[in-house]
Structure 1
Amino acid sequence: MLTLDKIYQASYVLKEVIRHTDLIYAPQINPDSQIYLKPENLQLTGSFKVRGAYYKISQLTDEEKAHGVIACSAGNHAQGVALGATKNGIKSLICLPAGAPISKVEATKKYGAEVCLVEGVYDDAYQKALQLKEEKGYTFVHPFDDENVIAGQGTIGLELLEELPDVDVVIVPVGGGGLISGVAFAIKSLKPNVKVYGVQASGAPSMLNSITNQKIERLNSVSTIADGIAVKEPGIHTYDICNKYVDGIVTVTDDEISTAILTLIEQQKLIAEGAGAVSVAAAMFNKVPVKGKKVICLVSGGNIDVTILSRVINRGLLKTGRSYTLTVELADRPGQLVGVTGIIARMGANVISVHHERAGSKDITGCYLQVVMETRNHEHIEKIRQELIREGYHVIS
């Protein structure tokens, strides 16, 4: 059984292993509340996962250690298990989805694990790991549905209450539910009045659906930039704990996640992966009641692939009105381009690229002009559009 004593024991075991991540005050995330960040993206291996993995491995018998461990993961749990196993001097084999970010695959190898890439998503890697466990006699380290793993993650809950004793709300990312189960159990056991909310990606709402319908439900598919929480089905233990201790679960879109990632980079100089930023997105877009409250957003990980990061930043720029593609229908005669770009310059926007297209216009003497601009916000974009219209230009979008 999961107990508070077990979480305290895990905290003692982890004391000499993990990095202490102090809260960061981030008032600009939501000006109507006092927002603090718990930056587990700065943790060893770049994620909270090392806590549960290391504690689970530390509790194995000598015989179990001799056989080695196996795990499956979208990436972060893999690194936690690899580090935990290596520090304990035992072998580790990690099954990862073939589509896992290259950075996570290479980092897992760097921490000393052998990697087995499996076609499909997390759940496919999970089935492969169970198969190899039976064949080779490994001990399976579940990424979330294991009470020792949950206890390790629960040490974050103890730290939050120690660092901000008068916290009102804690917002936690949810995939399979291991992190929020540990955090909610620890917090509710010590301070039942603190609200604990979970956040899932709208393209992978497995725990939300299960809690809503009061039974564990499996999604047919998942689709989100937050690969770390793209889980089709919650665990048995995690479902029960969430059902009992979590005050509510909400979802955020990929656009909202991208905006949160961009905000963390610009305002806090923090790199978060999609799964790590969902808690911040929930606070930014008022998905949970935070107005006038002291709130901690748990930034659970920072292992985002740099190739994805550039796309996410672009998506965040579009969502916040920092980038915009303007389309104008023009008469195909000299001076039109100068006129449009002159207005854009006068209004304080920066032109990134220009595309001139004759073929698409209904008018044989007309053309379309597409201008990609750097802008300040949505209000700035609207002012530019209105100024162009006032000057007699036909603005399409």
Structure 2
Amino acid sequence: RFVDLPAGTYSARVHPHGSRVDTIALDGENTQQIELLLAGWGYIIQSDTIDSRAQSDETARRVQHQPGNVAVRPPDDDEWAQRAERTVKQSRVRCAVAGYKSLPVYAYSGEWRSETVETGSALALGEFACEIDVAGCPDDECTVTVQGVVDDEGEPVALTAYVPLNRSAIPFVRFTRQSISARGRAAQSVLDGQVISEMEPGQIATVVLTDQQGNRRQQPTTKGGSFEFAYLEAGLYALVVLGHETTTQIADLALDGQNRVTVELRIPRPMPEPPEAAADGNGVIVGIIPSGEGKLAWLVDSVGNERSAELDADDQVRFDQLPADVYTLNVEGGYKEANLRIQGDKGMEVYFA
């Protein structure tokens, strides 16, 4: 609140990370009320009403904080009085983190701690929602903690919320990240997609988002390979999978502050080293078939001599000590490659798609 201001036109802004309002006209006597947004993470506690006594809970309570941290606001005297009047204790707490799935969430109070659940596990409540069982909490309040969120520099951000339980409605904690655009409006674009690769099932990749100012955000994929960056302002963005920068980068993704763009990031199958010629001067032929482990392969030279072997766990079969000749490579399942010419000191690789 600013008081005793002379007549004039003013601007107000949140420094250093927040919105700005210009051309605030004062005549020396009037009062102007404005709304400013603070960039960073915060939370709202809403209530799913289950009886008439919960009507005073229907209004969400917003908690603001310094960028990068979530401040817990202790209840005031009125809230303590309201708590004393209510005897209903909730056995569930609902939670959502806007734009994030598969983040670990749990509640605790003193030495008690709930089972860990993941955001996005309660789709009936919302795309990013989960529900925590707090029936065992010995107190009338608990703290909800979300792990796995990182800031623009890749540093972990602790998301916590103080949640009263002795209400006649189920608390619903909603964590949101406020991003402020150059025009002072909250950014609402979403950039999501899928990382497609031949990684082991359940293996998690890390996706890095870079804006046109060079600011970076990174996020682990879900076990299914999906990712989502939400609340993005208008501009050009680039995506890349960490550790696969050369082969997965997608640049110049245009967002207007409101749209949603979906992409696929493909990690190519690593190519094996080309076979080396045998030390004694004989040649080598290597055959590769995706998912071909255990298939029978046979190599036939120009006069009908045949050698056979099975594809190994790397989906490869290798025939070495080959004299100069023209060969035909056959693999169970109808695969065939003819006219493979070995000069006696050369290696050759055949890749069946």
TM-score when normalising by structure 2: 0.30
Higher strand share: 2
Which is bigger in relative contact order (C-alpha 8 A, separation at least 6)? Answer: 1
Higher helix share: 1
